[in-house]
Amino acid sequence: MSATQTVSLAVPRRSLAQRYPALRRFLRHKPALLGLCVVVFMTLFSFAGPWVIPFNATDTDIRARLMEPFAGAHVLGTDPLGRDVLARLMYAGRISLSVGFAATALSVLIGVLVGLVAGFYRGAVGAVLMRFVDAMLCFPSIFLLLAIAALIEPSVTSIVVLIAMASWMEVARVVEGQIRSLRERDFALAAESLGAGDIRIMFRELLPNAVAPIVVAATLNIAHAILSESYISFLGYGIHPPTPSWGNMLENAQSYLTNAPWLAIVPGVAITLTVTSFNFIGDGLRDALDAKLDR
Cis amide bond preceding 242, omega within 30: yes
Segment interacting with another protein (CB under 8 A) among 132-140, 161-169, 206-214, 261-269:
206-214
Distance CA 49, CA 90 (A): 7
Angle CA(143)–CA(145)–CA(151) in degrees, nearest 5?
A: 105
- Residue 10: CB minimum distance to another protein, A: 6
Cβ proximity of 225 and 137 under 8 Å: no
Does position 209 bind another protein by CB under 8 A?
Answer: yes
Does position 200 bind another protein by CB under 8 A?
Answer: yes
Does position 240 bind another protein by CB under 8 A?
Answer: no
Question: Computed over its alpha carbons, how large is the radius of gyration of the chain?
Answer: 24
Does position 195 bind another protein by CB under 8 A?
Answer: yes
Q: Return the sign of the alpha-carbon dihedral for residues 60, 64, 70, 73.
A: negative
User: Residues 22, 23, 24, 101: which binds another protein (CB under 8 A)?
Assistant: 24
Cβ distance to another protein smaller for residue 70 or 203:
203
Segment interacting with another protein (CB under 8 A) among 111-119, 158-166, 204-212, 236-244:
204-212
Cis amide bond preceding 80, omega within 30: no
Cβ distance to another protein smaller for residue 36 or 210:
210
Cβ distance to another protein smaller for residue 179 or 232:
179
Cβ distance to another protein smaller for residue 153 or 184:
184
- Residue 108: CB minimum distance to another protein, A: 18
Paired residues of 78 in beta bridges = 84
Distance CA 140, CA 159 (A): 17
Helix-strand-coil percent breakdown of the chain, rounded to 5?
A: 75, 0, 25
Q: Binding string, 152-191, against another protein, x = CB under 8 A?
A: ---------------------------------xxx-xxx
Q: Minimal CA–CA distance to 243: which of 157, 128, 146?
A: 157
Distance CA 154, CA 159 (A): 7
Cβ distance to another protein smaller for residue 83 or 183:
183
Does position 52 bind another protein by CB under 8 A?
Answer: no
Reduce the DSSP state of residue 294 to 3 states and report it. Answer: coil
Does position 70 bind another protein by CB under 8 A?
Answer: no
Does position 203 bind another protein by CB under 8 A?
Answer: no
- Residue 73: CB minimum distance to another protein, A: 52
Does position 7 bind another protein by CB under 8 A?
Answer: yes
Does position 21 bind another protein by CB under 8 A?
Answer: yes
Reduce the DSSP state of residue 10 to 3 states and report it. Answer: coil
Does position 204 bind another protein by CB under 8 A?
Answer: yes
Q: Quote the strand ranges of the chain, DSSP E.
A: none
Residues that bind another protein (CB under 8 A): 1-13, 18-19, 21, 24, 185-187, 189-197, 200, 204-205, 208-209, 211, 294-295
